[in-house]
Amino acid sequence: MAARNIALVGIGKIALDQHVPAIAASPDWTLAATISRKGAVDGVPAYTDFAAFLAERPDVPVVSLCLPPVPRFAYAETALLQGRHVMLEKPPGATLAEVQELERLAAARGLTLYTTWHSRMAHAVQPARDWLTDKVIRRAHITWREDVRKWHPGQDWVFEPGGMGVFDPGINALSILTHILPQPVHLTGAELEFPANRQTPIAARLAFSGNVTADFDWRQTGPQTWDIEVETDRGVLALRMGGNVLEIDGQPAAGQASIMGEYPALYARMTELVQAGAREVDLAPMVHVADALTLGRRILTDPFDF
C-alpha cells in the first residue's frame, strides 16, 4: 500500500527527536507538511498558518499534533471539522472535557482520533501486561525521578497552568500502570509540592486503592529512575528504564518484547486505526492526574528556576 501523507503540527524538541525520525522510518507515512511558528524540517513544505495549510493541502488526510497541550484543542477541532484524522501527543489536551468533545466530534464524522501514550509502547510493557493478567496484585510502587533541567531545559511552560509540572513525565508512568494492571485503581490521597514561584508541582506522592503508590520527583540529578515494581501472589515484577526492561523476581525476563521503538509503534498503530476507521481515546492516565490535582494536599517548597 502506498504511504499516506501526514502533517506534523508543532516542530519543537519532541517533534524533531521522535516524530520526524519515526515518520521517516515508516513505510506507511510520508511527512508532507509541517505547521509551526518557528520550526521546520529540511525538504518538507513548512507552513506557519494552520488555516492556510488546510486550505492548500487537501492531499494530507492526517495531522499529528505535538505542540503543548494548552493550544492543542483548537488545532484538533479545526482539523476534524476539515475532515482530517488526528493523532495527539500525550497528554491529549489541557482538560478532560475538551478531549471528550473531540471524541464526540470525531465519532460523529467517522474520523480517527488517537490519544497516544508513547510509554505504553516501550519494549517491555506488553510482556509485563501479559505476565500480570492472571496474577493477584498485592502492592505496586512507581518511582519516577528525573531532572527537569535535563529534559525540559528552560521550558517555563511546564510550570505554567496546564503545563502539568512533574505530571508531564509522571503521566507516562500512569499510562503504563493503567495499561498493565488487571484491575483499575483510583486515587485515595496525594501530596503535591509546588515551588513557591510556580503554578504546577515539582514533586508528587500519590496513593491509590489496592496498595498502589507513586513517587514523582523532577529534582533528581545524577542517575534517573523510571521504575514500576509490582508484588503479586506469584512473584515480583519490575519494569525499569521507563518500561524498557522487565524483571521477574529480580531476574531479567524475555517475553514477547516489542522490537519497535515507542514512536514508530505509535505511527504503526495510527495506520491500523485509520485503515479501520476507528478511534482510540483513553483518558485514564489523565483522569488520575486531574484527581491528584483535585484531591491532593498542596505543600509549598523552595522556588525553582532553570
Instruction: Tell me if 291 contacts a copy of itself by CB under 8 A.
Output: yes
Decide if 13 is catalytic: no
CA dist 253 and 225 (Å) reads 19
Q: Which residue's CB is nearer to a copy of itself, number 13 or number 297?
A: 297
CA dist 23 and 90 (Å) reads 17
Q: What string marks each residue from 57 to 96 as x (binds a copy of itself by CB under 8 A) or -? A: -------------x--x--------------------xxx
Q: Which residue's CB is nearer to a copy of itself, number 71 or number 235?
A: 71
Q: How many residues bind a copy of itself (CB under 8 A)?
A: 34
Contacts (Cβ under 8 Å, ≥6 apart) of 196: 300, 301, 302, 303
Which residue do the cell numbers 505547521 mark?
A: 35
- Write out the H or E segment, with its range, that includes residue 206: strand 203-208
CA dist 232 and 229 (Å) reads 10
Q: How far is the CB of 92 from a copy of itself (least distance, A)?
A: 12
Which of these ranges, 151-159, 250-258, 265-273, 285-293, lies near a copy of itself under the rule CB under 8 A?
285-293
Instruction: Tell me if 253 contacts a copy of itself by CB under 8 A.
Output: no
Instruction: Tell me if 288 contacts a copy of itself by CB under 8 A.
Output: yes
User: Could you tell me whether strands 235-240 and 225-232 are parallel, antiparallel, or unpaired per DSSP bridges?
Assistant: antiparallel
- Which is it for the CA torsion 160, 176, 264, 225, positive or negative? positive
Phi-psi region of 211 (alpha: psi -120 to 50; beta: other; left: phi over 0): left
Instruction: Tell me if 284 contacts a copy of itself by CB under 8 A.
Output: yes
CA 177 vs. chain centroid, Å, equals: 13
Q: How far is the CB of 303 from a copy of itself (least distance, A)?
A: 14
Q: Which residue's CB is nearer to a copy of itself, number 174 or number 274?
A: 174
Of these residues, 13, 38, 90, 150, which one is catalytic? 90
Instruction: Tell me if 282 contacts a copy of itself by CB under 8 A.
Output: no
Buried b (16+ CB within 10 A) or exposed e, 27-56: ebbbbbbbbbeebebeebbbbeebeebbee
Instruction: Tell me if 109 contacts a copy of itself by CB under 8 A.
Output: no
Which residue do the cell numbers 519494569 mark?
A: 239
Instruction: Tell me if 207 contacts a copy of itself by CB under 8 A.
Output: no
Instruction: Tell me if 114 contacts a copy of itself by CB under 8 A.
Output: no
Instruction: Tell me if 166 contacts a copy of itself by CB under 8 A.
Output: no
Helix axes 96-109, 284-295, angle to 10 degrees: 160
Active site residues: 90
The residues that touch a copy of itself, with contacts defined as CB under 8 A, are 70, 73, 94-98, 100-101, 104, 161-162, 164, 184-187, 189-190, 194, 199, 209, 284, 287-291, 293-298
